[in-house]
Amino acid sequence: MESMLNKLKSTVTKVTADVTSAVMGNPVTREFEVGRHIASGGPGLCWRIYDGTKKSTKQEVAVFVFDKKMIDKYQKFEKDQIIDSLKRGVQQLTRLRHPRLLTVQHPLEESRDCLAFCTEPVFASLSNVLGQWDNLPSPVPTDIKEYKLFDVETKYGLLQISEGLSFLHSGVKMVHGNLCLENVILNKSGSWKIMGFDFSISAANPSDSEPKYTCKEWDPNLPPLCLPNPEYLAPEYILSVSCDSASDMYSLGVVMHAVFNEGKPVFQVNKHDIFKSFSRQLDQLSTMSSALLNKIPEEVQQHVKMLLSVTPTVRPDADQMTKIPFFDDVGAVTLQYFDSLFQRDNLQKSQFYKGLPKVLPKLPKRVVVHRILPALTSEFVNPDMVPFVLPNVLLIAEECTRDEYIRLILPDLTPVFKQQEPIQILLIFLQKMDLLLTKTPAEDIKSSVLPMVYRALEAPSVQIQELCLNIIPTFANLIDYPSMKNALIPRIKSACLQTSSLAVRVNSLVCLGKILEYLDKWFVIDEILPFLQQIPSREPAVLMGMLGIYKCTFTHKKLGIPKEHLASKSLPHLISLSIDSNLNLNQFNSFMAVIRDMLSRMEAEHKTKLEQLHVMQEQQRSINISNPGNPSEEPKSQPSTGNQIDDIFGGAAVNGKENGSAAPAPAPQPNRMSLTLEEKQRLAKEQEQAAKLRNQRPLAPQAAKQSAASNAQAKDLTSSLLNNMTSLNSLSLANAPRPAPVQGSTMAAFPSSGTMMGPMGAQISNGFNTPMSFQTGGMGMGMRPPGPAHYGAGMATTTSTPNFSAFNQHQGPNKTPDMSALDSLFKPSQPKVTLNQMGPKAPPGTNNTWLQQFGGTPNAQTQMQGAPVPLGGVPGGFGMQANPFFSPQNFSQPAAAASLNHSGVKHSSSVSGDLKDLFG
């Protein structure tokens, strides 16, 4: 490991030293930072190519450096010839400006050790790409070693060279003189550019239609860098010392052959005997066999053969070559169109961009990313073109890796996220939101992508709002919870409440229903469900959307509605909505189905709770029985209180309720109230004696407060009678029959005060006051009976379970008591009633409302008994089947609905179709 690190360190140090020594002292370094050695090019691949940046603008460039140490073996005059030739070529290139020629961004600078100039960013020379790696760094860069030309790159590259030669021959009246692989440069985007004008020849008569060029005789004694590459020269250049534009066309034919033949030219030339080699080559060209061109595509073989003709007049000119069918490839034409975009108007550009998505899949990814993408992103400065360019950029982004997207596309997209005009930009981004959220880093999503979604929800266009609401559920899982809770949901709610479009309101509810699964339970209960009660309109689609949200929340296993919320808020709201006159039968049935489910769930949960509480009370009572307390602290009759209550209100009714079935109607007891007057008088006297006993008990604070005035006997008698009647009425309503009181039996009566106790000694609530207690005077003294039936039924129904205290009943003599004390209970204007009228018997089979709270009814639902049901509802997924918003029903508006409803919500022109599409 250490040796590897040392080797790497030495390599880096060597490369740094090479770069430093190569350009040290050159004026180019004042303005440009020189980076790593990336390629080589020019005559004999003598120029080393480095990447670099301009210090002032950070603009990317390529720095060409010629190290003078390469020519140390030559004599001084030869060195000067080489330097002069190289200078001439760069100076000529600097003066020429054309898209097909390499662009010089900083002219040639000379120092003691090197020559250097800067151009547009460069990838490599065509010679490097085809396998000639002279003057390259060691090891050879991987991107060059593994580079393979695609057919479309080859076709368009040769077309570009042809266009460059056409410019030189027709526009500048110049012959290049040394067109070869070394002098064709591939720039950073993949375009082929011509350089190496060291041996270019300008026309002697540029104004004439037939220019004449003066050619120098081949001098084999000159250094190779002072001579053109002989393998690409036309025969006439050597044999007859003549040249013209056709000589460059011969060189183009050799270049085409080399491109399809792994970088090898047509003939190998012996540079020591150049004339003999060319003479032999001339004979071979005259009788060229098809085997010589077998690697060239068939559709261009004939044209290459013409370019390699011995006769210059037979060779096609550069303009003719640009028009051959071989270059009519859809990819080549597309790339050519991009290179000429600056000549097009907006209408022509828009038509081209509309058809581009059909072409992009046919092009190699490298060509699309490095050639087409930069041209597309450059159009972002023109807002009118963005809606046409953006779909193509996003289509390219889909094929890029995440790293490529972040590095090549996102920087250009960031300013476009903030554009609000034209409105189509938002539409395009919304349609590709899943792509953006998947490949964009989280910090850029928060800063750029989500704010765009928020602007779409607040856009004035109804169509934008509808589209945004429709697609939000598709990428809701990619939005972080704080953003959804604090920014997205409030805007959806605002859009629903403030819009005048029915479609937007319905889509808002559908959107909320689909993203409920990404919210937590209490946020839905505290924010979403109360929001439903704020919606003003009552169209059927809106009502069904609200029902759907209730149903989703109620049934979803992660959410659920607590029974307290069901009872106090959800059910009252749903019941009020269910009877809306706009609903049809099917929609009403949907409401009632949900309401019944909620009621059943609430009943089952609460019943389970009460059953568990009852079991706990029974266990506690068993403990109390097995461990009795101090008898002096509790009356002996207290344990019988629970039994008394069970005897009166238990029976079949209570048992039936506990068993989940309706209790049978109690059998009539005709003998319960058929007491003779003597028996009633005896009971009254016994009641009076019981009252005296209560006065002596310390646990009766109410009795201690009674006055010892002269009317105490009458009040006690009245209270005893009323209590006795109430007791008798209650006994008459009991289900289980009881024997008539006999001497020595124990009978319960209302205590003057005290708290009602359950079977375990716990306080019993009557549902209105807890704990519950009754005062003697409160039961009878302050109540005026409205009619004969009041005491028989009303007393039993308006009071809660009576708390019976035991007292000893003794048989007394049959003595008629003085009943005159009862006269004070009634005013003179009211007729007196008899005791029989005050306590009528209840008709057989009559159901008492109060008693039904304790007993079961025939329609009691028993299917929900068993284990407690979770508050979240029936476990189930939130998929397409479980969520009503993914298969909504009965959302449609009635056919006769007006365009403006009673709540002022306007129906958009497409609302019927929208609702039909949305809800089926």
Q: What is the pLDDT of residues 885-912, one digit of tens each?
A: 554 444 444 443 444 444 444 454 444 4
Adjacent-strand bridge partners of 53: 33, 60
In order of 182, 474, 548, 666, the CA distances from 468 in angstroms are: 55, 10, 20, 65
Domains in the chain: ranges and CATH: 7-327 (1.10.510.10)
End-to-end CA distance of the chain: 68
Strand 184-187's sheet: what is its strand order?
122-125, 184-187, 192-194
Burial-class residue 552 by CB neighbours within 10 Å (0-12, 13-18, 19+). buried
- 3-state SS assignment for residue 500: coil
Per the CB < 8 A criterion, the answer to whether 193 and 187 are in contact is: yes
Q: Where are the beta strands (DSSP E) in 32-83?
A: 32-41, 47-54, 60-67
Instruction: Please report which helix (H) or strand (E) contains residue 93, including its range.
Output: helix 76-95
Taking 70 as the pLDDT cut, the residues of the chain under it are 1-22, 627-675, 694-920
pLDDT of 465 reads 83
Per the CB < 8 A criterion, the answer to whether 246 and 201 are in contact is: no
> Length of the chain, please?
920
Instruction: Please report which helix (H) or strand (E) contains residue 187, including its range.
Output: strand 184-187
The amino acid that residue 281 corresponds to is Q
Q: Distance between CA 207 and CA 201 in Å, rounded?
A: 15
pLDDT of 185 reads 96
The amino acid that residue 860 corresponds to is A
- Give me the sign of the Cα torsion angle 3, 7, 12, 13: positive
Q: What is the pLDDT of residues 482-526, one digit of tens each?
A: 888 888 888 888 888 888 888 888 888 888 888 888 888 888 888
Structure tokens at 350: 């828009």
Residues 6 or more apart whose Cβ sits within 8 Å of residue 537? 502, 505, 901, 903, 904, 905
pLDDT of 219 reads 87
In order of 684, 712, 808, the CA distances from 689 in angstroms are: 9, 13, 9
Q: Other CB atoms closer than 10 Å to residue 250's CB: what's the count? A: 25
Q: Distance between CA 699 and CA 695 in Å, rounded?
A: 9
pLDDT of 169 reads 93
pLDDT of 186 reads 94
pLDDT of 103 reads 95
Structure tokens at 335: 């790339």
- Give me the sign of the Cα torsion angle 68, 73, 76, 82: negative
In order of 624, 728, 844, 851, the CA distances from 787 in angstroms are: 45, 18, 20, 21
In order of 93, 168, 267, the CA distances from 251 in angstroms are: 19, 14, 12
- Going by C-alpha positions, the residue among 45, 256, 257 that lies closest to residue 140 is 45
Q: Where are the beta strands (DSSP E) in 26-142?
A: 32-41, 47-54, 60-67, 104-110, 114-119, 122-125
